[in-house]
Structure formats: structure tokens, C-alpha cells
């Protein structure tokens, strides 16, 4: 029997006198000096050992030798630390705060202590199904877990991401956006009294609240009628954190209509370029809750009969007003800071539904025109005389 054992497979006998077949092979190990380490796998039959060795030989021939399986023994919490180091600087403080909550409240208690190579797809699916949170929070939690496990897969700690193929259920359809007309914007601004200029600025620029708070006097060029979005100041866990805009596309230039120029001119006149452009009545950075209180937001919505309405609905209103003014999709995308026109079209598909009617009308016109032309000319295909 021993003479029939192929090269690279070693026959051994365990304590019970049963034969065992050991395959020794090289695996990649980034922690070793050479980048390689020898390891082994033992099988109860020669047939299994031969099959395993053939797979390793094929991997070696293709230059795709597997990583050391010991690399998968570290807990998911270690992968989270690695993920955090690379991901945190790349996203906004508000986005990272959301990631941290998903990790600390849901993922870490379930998987943080478990070695990554022991996490199975069925475990992830069961975890997601048992979450008692809203649909979007469930989707976000799964996406984060999938991203963390992908770091482990790319490092060779696991061969397949167990979160791939896991479903978070049906994603709920987003509610239809609330849009104000120009007269409604004017009425709401008037109802907010001395804070009404904020309503006008948001509705006619499409700025996010954090972008409004992050504006500096130097970001506004009254002569060229341009506003430059260079930073954002979101409120994260009770603190206003000034940093880059939400995405790269959010760093943009917005043209200013006269109504916004009239609102901004008295606010920034005679002030230094590095000072905040829009401040609270006492000169501090704006906080949304404080501003709603100063503007008597709830009372203003009741007076104008516009409730329910959020501050972010004023950003949606900008998309609607720009569309009504004749702006095409690409203009709206650029001024609102979306990455592509497709993103804008998906978010505001209801604003562009009239284009579907235009397609139908154009097809009717094409059909009528070609039908009439055929009738008038009376042309028929040439007929070939057969002998």
C-alpha cells in the first residue's frame, strides 16, 4: 500500500491503527518573511487525499495558491477594525456615525466574536430575518456586514463572502416627494417671518441643510451669481462637524436667481470671507431644531396649510421648480450634486413622467405621418415577372 502512495502524500497510522493520508502544500501568508508557509491536510482515504492534492497542484500551476487557512481564525471584530481604518476617512462623519450604530447595536453582538471562516450564509440570513428594525435599517445593516466580510475575502481569509446572496426582503417603495409651488414657497417664507429667507434660499438652490450651514461668505460670488458648495456641516450625535460635502459630486457650483441674491446680500455684506454665511440670530452655526423653533415652523405650516413638510422637502422643491422652469435632467443633476443623471431620474422619476406622454404623442404623430405618406404615394413593392 505504501508503495502505491503518490509523491507528496504521506501515509500515517493514527492511535487507533487506522491509516491516514497527509498532504503537505504551500499557502500564501502575508505575515511570513517569504510570503509563503507550508501546511498540511489529513484525510481518511487515499482517494480524498489525491483529489485534494490535485486541486492544490492546479492552483500552483495557475499561480493562485490559496491563503493560509489559519488566517480565517481571527474574529470579525478584527476585520471591523481594518475596515474602519480605511473606510472612515472616505465617508462623511454623518455616514460613518450610521455605520458605527449598525455595527455596535446589531452586527457586533451577533458576529463580532466569531472567527470569519465560521460565519455561514445561513447564519447571516437568519440574523437578517430576525432583525426587528425598519426595512431600510435592515438593508443598511446587511450592506455593511457584506462590506466588512468582503475585506476578509479580499485578504484571503475566506474564499466566499457569506453575506452574498442573502436577502433583506422587499425594499419598500419610497414615498412620493412633497413639492411646493413658487406661491407656496413665498407663503411659507412669509409665515416664518425673519427666518423666511432660509426657506427661500433652500427652495431656490437645492442645498442640503448641512451644506447651508457649511457655507462661508467667500463661497458666494454675488457678481457672477454663483454659490460654491465646498463643505458641509452636519450635526452628528449633538455636535456640528465641518468637513467635505456628502459625496464628490456634491462639491459643485449653483447658479443663483435674483430672489436668492436678494436674500443673501444683506447677510454677507461687509463680512470676512471665512465667516459662516448663514448663522443663527446670535451669530452661531445653525442647528435645525433651533432654527425651526425661531422660525415657528410648526405654526407656519399650520397657517399656510402645508403640513406635513420637512426642511429636506425644500430641496425636493428645488428639483420641481427647476423642472418647471424648463431645466433638463442634466442641469438638475449638476446643481443638486448627484453623481449621474440616472440617480436624479430615479429619485425624481415622478417629475419626468410627462416625458412618457411626449413619447406616446410622438409615436402617434409618426404613425399618422407615415400612414398618410404611404396612402398619398400609393407606392407598392416592385413585382418581378415570372416566365
Q: What is the pLDDT of residues 126-152, one digit of tens each?
A: 999 999 998 889 999 999 999 999 999
Grid coordinates representing 97? 456615525
pLDDT of residue 34: 72
Q: What is the pLDDT of residues 303-354, one digit of tens each?
A: 999 999 999 999 999 999 999 998 888 999 999 999 998 888 888 888 876 6
| DSSP states along 73-98 | GSBHHHHHHHHHHHHGGGS-HHHHHH
pLDDT of residue 383: 57
Is residue 361 very low, low, confident or very high in pLDDT (cuts 50, 70, 90)? Answer: confident
Choice between 58 and 144, residue whose per-residue pLDDT is larger: 144
Residue 151 — φ and ψ, nearest 5°? -65, -40
pLDDT of residue 87: 92
Choice between 202 and 387, residue whose per-residue pLDDT is larger: 202
pLDDT of residue 1: 44
CA distance 212 to 338: 17
Q: Name which of 45-59, 110-124, 168-182, 194-208 the model is least confident about.
A: 168-182
Q: Which residues contact 139 (CB under 8 A, 6 or more apart)?
A: 168, 171
User: In 3-state terms, what secondary structure has residue 376?
Assistant: helix
Q: What is the pLDDT of residues 188-211, one digit of tens each?
A: 999 999 999 999 999 999 999 999
Averaged pLDDT for residues 88-99 = 88
Counting residues of the chain whose pLDDT is more than 70, the rounded percentage is 89
Statement: the pTM of the whole predicted model exceeds 0.85: no
Q: For the chain, state the CA radius of gyration.
A: 32
Residue 39 has pLDDT above 70, yes or no: yes
Counting residues of the chain whose pLDDT is more than 90, the rounded percentage is 55
Contact indicator for 250, 229 with CB cutoff of 8 Å: yes
Q: What is the pLDDT of residues 275-291, one digit of tens each?
A: 999 998 888 899 999 99
Residue 335's closest CA among 234, 225, 239? Answer: 225
In the chain, the N- to C-terminal Cα span, in Å, equals: 86
Burial 311-350 (b: 16+ CB within 10 A, else e): bebbbbbbbbbbbeeeeebebbbbbbbbeeeeebbebbee
Contact indicator for 124, 130 with CB cutoff of 8 Å: no
pLDDT of residue 370: 78
Residue 192's closest CA among 301, 287, 300? Answer: 300
User: In 3-state terms, what secondary structure has residue 377?
Assistant: helix
Amino acid at each position: 500500500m505504501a508503495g502505491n502512495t503518490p509523491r507528496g502524500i504521506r501515509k500515517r497510522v493514527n492511535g487507533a491503527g487506522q491509516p491516514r493520508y497527509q498532504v503537505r502544500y504551500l499557502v500564501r501568508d502575508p505575515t511570513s518573511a517569504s510570503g509563503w508557509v507550508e501546511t498540511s491536510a489529513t484525510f481518511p482515504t487515499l482517494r480524498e487525499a489525491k483529489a485534494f492534492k490535485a486541486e492544490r497542484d492546479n492552483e500552483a500551476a495557475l499561480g493562485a495558491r490559496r491563503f493560509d487557512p489559519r488566517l480565517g481564525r481571527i474574529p470579525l471584530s478584527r476585520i471591523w477594525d481594518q475596515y474602519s481604518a480605511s473606510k472612515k476617512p472616505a465617508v462623511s462623519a454623518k455616514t460613518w456615525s450610521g455605520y458605527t450604530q449598525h455595527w455596535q447595536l446589531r452586527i457586533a453582538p451577533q458576529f463580532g466574536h466569531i472567527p470569519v471562516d465560521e460565519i455561514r450564509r445561513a447564519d447571516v440570513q437568519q440574523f437578517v430575518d430576525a432583525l426587528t428594525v425598519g426595512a431600510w435599517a435592515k438593508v443598511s445593516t446587511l450592506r455593511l456586514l457584506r462590506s466588512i466580510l468582503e475585506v476578509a475575502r479580499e485578504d484571503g481569509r475566506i474564499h466566499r463572502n457569506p453575506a452574498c446572496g442573502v436577502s433583506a426582503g422587499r425594499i419598500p417603495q419610497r414615498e412620493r416627494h412633497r413639492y411646493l409651488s413658487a406661491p407656496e414657497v413665498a407663503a411659507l417664507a412669509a409665515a416664518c417671518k425673519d427666518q423666511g429667507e432660509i426657506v427661500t434660499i433652500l427652495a431656490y438652490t437645492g442645498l442640503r441643510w448641512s451644506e447651508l450651514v457649511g457655507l462661508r461668505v467667500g463661497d458666494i460670488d454675488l457678481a457672477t451669481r454663483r454659490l460654491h458648495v465646498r463643505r458641509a456641516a452636519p450635526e452628528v450625535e449633538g455636535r456640528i462637524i465641518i468637513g467635505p460635502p456628502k459625496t464628490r459630486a456634491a462639491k459643485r457650483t449653483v447658479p443663483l436667481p435674483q430672489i436668492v441674491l436678494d436674500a443673501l446680500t444683506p447677510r454677507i455684506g461687509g463680512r470676512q470671507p471665512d465667516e459662516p454665511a448663514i448663522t443663527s440670530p446670535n451669530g452661531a452655526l445653525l442647528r435645525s431644531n433651533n432654527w425651526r423653533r425661531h422660525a415657528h415652523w410648526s405654526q407656519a405650516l399650520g397657517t399656510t396649510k402645508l403640513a406635513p413638510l420637512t426642511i429636506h422637502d425644500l430641496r425636493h422643491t428645488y428639483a420641481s421648480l427647476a423642472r418647471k422652469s424648463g431645466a433638463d435632467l442634466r442641469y438638475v443633476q449638476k446643481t443638486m450634486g448627484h453623481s449621474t443623471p440616472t440617480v436624479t431620474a430615479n429619485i425624481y422619476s415622478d417629475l419626468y413622467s410627462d416625458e412618457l406622454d411626449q413619447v406616446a404623442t410622438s409615436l402617434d404623430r409618426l404613425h399618422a405621418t407615415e400612414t398618410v405618406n404611404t396612402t398619398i404615394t400609393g407606392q407598392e413593392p416592385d413585382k418581378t415577372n415570372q416566365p
